[in-house]
Structure 1
């Protein structure tokens, strides 16, 4: 793929905005999401995103991007679901109740249990791919990554996302589940707090998700 072709970049940019938009947070999440170009021009916001993942130099960024793309949060999620799927409903309920409250692993197991039969085949990979794209582009703008590497990584994430999910709805569900799992939120705080935001992303005409076809 010719990453220096203006048409290729224009197409990839649509997916960058769409996939990164799910990473937006706060009361202004949708306002940010529908103007991702401004987000990528805000150095303070980009630096905050990098710091959230403890990225402070090029080496740390490259290692994090490789982990998100190849392994990601989804590996631990899949391990949790594998454990839980081997139990009957009664056994699973008893096991979850026996776990020590307040611990991160307990919260993650509760999230994995809730989504046991509620996710597309590729599960929460959307969370990894969205953050990989967002951090990749943020890192490029902070001087941690070359322009060619940025587009190469974006293209890989876009390709895998399009193979993994049949629709932006499935992708968004996977992302929301991944966010709660990453935060070990057994009460599904992220999905509940940003429900309206996700609905707007899926339905509003100005949403970046409406500008790029997943399939």
Structure 2
């Protein structure tokens, strides 16, 4: 009996010691498991970061290659539609919220977007073939909405009664300091380049016809503007003159403003990468006016 009484405390102590050892072993194992999990998570994040960096570098390489494939004059012509391209890039498929910036320097959008383009041309412009594409482009290049814009501007300068066109008069007055004589011409020219490129993508225009229209727009733009900043302000003036007021149009105008802001400020913007080219002819003409 005495032996039993002696062994019971010893057994209890041994059991307690065993439990403590087991607990420590389990705790140490848990710590090692957590450390291994953290290491695996860190390794996975490193692999993911490396893959993301590789994708980013590949996108940049495609961007640079697309830019290098064009002459400065042709890059400038495509850059005239950049406000619309920046918006289109939100619609085009892209990975990891990263847009394919190379399409600023591509004449046509990614394959598979034909339905969107066809819908945009038909619903917005009644363009369904070669003839309707040329008709619309001729209107945009020759007059567009900049003609009524300038008519309202002239009427304001002459003090005419514009009660029937109060909205248009308000827009013209609002943008006078920024757009001046050019008015909303940039909006027409950007649309002309965008429409021509979409029409070419759908086969309504040949590549030669498309570039001919883009070069017309380039010449007109160089004659009217001297910087991307003024061009951007003219774009916004023309967009607001075209349609303002109402929830949908107000939202659209805000989207245009966001696009111009990105083009003016972001380091990857084609407007930052390709400064506005100097027009010798325009400079000489301006000298003669002074």
TM-score by length of 2: 0.59
1:195 is aligned to 257
1:18 aligned to 2:79?
yes
Distance 2:99 2:76 in 1: 16
Report deviation, 1:66: 0.7
Specify whether residues 33 and 194 from structure 1 end up closer, same or farther in structure 2 by C-alpha distance, changes over 3 A only: farther
Distance 1:166 1:186 in 2: 33
Report deviation, 1:79: 0.6
Report deviation, 1:193: 4.3
Distance 1:39 1:124 in 2: 25
Distance 1:19 1:33 in 2: 18
| Equivalent residue in structure 2 for 1:165, among 217, 225, 231 | 225
Distance 1:156 1:38 in 2: 16
| Equivalent residue in structure 1 for 2:189, among 129, 137, 141 | 129
**Equivalent runs, 1:91-130 vs 2, <5 Å:** 98-99=163-164, 105-130=165-190
Report deviation, 1:47: 1.9
TM-score by length of 1: 0.77
1:151 is aligned to 211
Contact 2:108 2:198 in 1 (8 A): no
Q: Deviations for 1:42-73, whole angstroms, at most 9, x for unmatched residues? A: 22332233121221221111011111111111
Specify whether residues 70 and 194 from structure 1 end up closer, same or farther in structure 2 by C-alpha distance, changes over 3 A only: closer
Contact 1:21 1:34 in 2 (8 A): no
Distance 1:56 1:211 in 2: 35
Report deviation, 1:33: 8.6
Contact 2:78 2:214 in 1 (8 A): no
Report deviation, 1:121: 2.7
1:50 is aligned to 121
> Larger relative CO (CA 8 A, sep 6+): 1 or 2?
1
Specify whether residues 150 and 112 from structure 1 end up closer, same or farther in structure 2 by C-alpha distance, changes over 3 A only: same
Contact 1:33 1:208 in 2 (8 A): no
Contact 2:90 2:99 in 1 (8 A): yes
1:40 is aligned to 109
Equivalenced residues, count: 196
Specify whether residues 193 and 79 from structure 1 end up closer, same or farther in structure 2 by C-alpha distance, changes over 3 A only: same
Specify whether residues 109 and 165 from structure 1 end up closer, same or farther in structure 2 by C-alpha distance, changes over 3 A only: same
Report deviation, 1:32: 6.1
Q: Which structure has more helix as a fraction of its residues?
A: 2
Root-mean-square deviation (CA), in Å? Answer: 3.0
Contact 2:146 2:185 in 1 (8 A): yes
Distance 2:200 2:108 in 1: 14
Q: Deviations for 1:102-148, whole angstroms, at most 9, x for unmatched residues? A: xxx54323212322333143221111111111101111111111111
**SS of structure 2 residue aligned to 1:162:** helix
